[in-house]
Amino acid sequence: MNSAGDKTSLSGWLNGLLGVVIFSGSLPATRIAVQDFDPFFLTFARASLAGALALVLILVLREKRPPAAQIVPLMVVSLGVVVGFPLLTALALQHVTAAHSIVFLGLLPLMTAIFAVLRGKERPARAFWIFSVLGSLLVVGFALSQSAALSLTGDLLMLAAVVVCGLGYAEGAALTRESGGWQVIGCALILALPFMVVASCLTMPASFSSVGISAWTALGYVSLFSMLIGFIFWYKGLARGGIAAVGQLQLLQPFLGLGLSATLLHEKVSPVMLFITLGVILCVAGSRKFSR
């Protein structure tokens, strides 16, 4: 029994880690895509492509329709991770670099935990809130240290993106306990599909002649991997390894994302960015420890 449990837990960690690795490429890919695509079209197109593929998978595998009680939570997941986070980050990346924006991802585990606490009506220890405030102050201080107005706009958009994504993660994690891992993101994508297709048509550029190969490749990545495949591994990991435990793997995402930004986009990763990212990660790790 213990051996089987250990294997299941290890499988959860491995799936969760693969999901985080995939997600780490999302912001650098979005940064590349918004250089040629409008942020609104990019958001709607990536959701449409991922939703169409999810619909095919659901039909081929003959999955059951979600019960009526799950429709509202699925709408929250859809608004958070299908529309909200992609759109807000795409808008933010018009003003800031991918390396700059990735610092804010250090707040994602904390935001997910806060919404999980609110939703589950848990009472974390006082130390949880101390670490939460310290982490938030680090991020706010970093944002205020940027003097450019456009940078402040990007920072506010990234903060909003983290909030809606945390809400979407918390709702998705709760649904994972009732449904299969990948079915949650699949149903959320399908729920938004009609609206995303219409919105894609309305925001479609008159011509794609100026769109480069790198932008098309980035669109393919954020559609296939960031919107669907990454969530398949992520929610499978949460289901098998435990939401609280596997959720801590998100702490690796800022480091992985900064590395990709420096490697693929040749963006400068300043010592301040690394210091802030490390500080946020330490604070989030402490808050997670005292979240129960």
Residue 45 CB contacts under 8 Å (≥ 6 apart), including other chains: 37, 200, 219, 223
DSSP E strands: which ranges in 200-288?
A: none
DSSP E strands: which ranges in the chain?
A: none
Half-sphere exposure of 178 (CA within 13 A, CB side): 14
Q: List the pLDDT tens digit at each of the 292 positions of the chain.
A: 455 555 567 788 888 889 989 998 888 899 899 999 999 999 999 999 999 999 998 899 888 888 888 999 999 999 999 999 999 998 998 888 877 787 788 788 778 778 877 765 667 778 877 887 888 888 777 766 755 555 788 889 999 999 999 898 888 877 877 776 678 889 999 999 999 999 999 999 999 999 999 999 999 999 999 999 998 888 788 777 776 667 777 777 777 777 777 787 777 777 887 888 888 888 877 776 775 5
Give the amino acid at 256.
Answer: L
Residue 102, SS3 per DSSP: helix
Nearest to 246 by CA among 254, 235, 255: 235
Count of domains in the chain? 1
Asked if residue 278 lies in contact with residue 49, where contact means CB atoms within 8 angstroms, the answer is: no
Nearest to 188 by CA among 63, 81, 57: 81
The residue length of the chain stands at 292
Write down the pLDDT at residue 1.
45
DSSP state for residue 248 in the 8-state scheme: G
For residue 257, the enclosing domain spans 2-289
Q: What angle do CA 197, 202, 208 make, to 5 degrees?
A: 95
Task: Write out the two tokens for 26.
Answer: 């999302």
282 alpha-carbon distance from chain centroid:
20
Handedness of CA 203, 209, 215, 217 (dihedral sign): positive
| Cα gap 103→276, rounded to integer Å | 7
pTM (2 d.p.)? 0.80
Start-to-end CA span in the chain (Å): 26
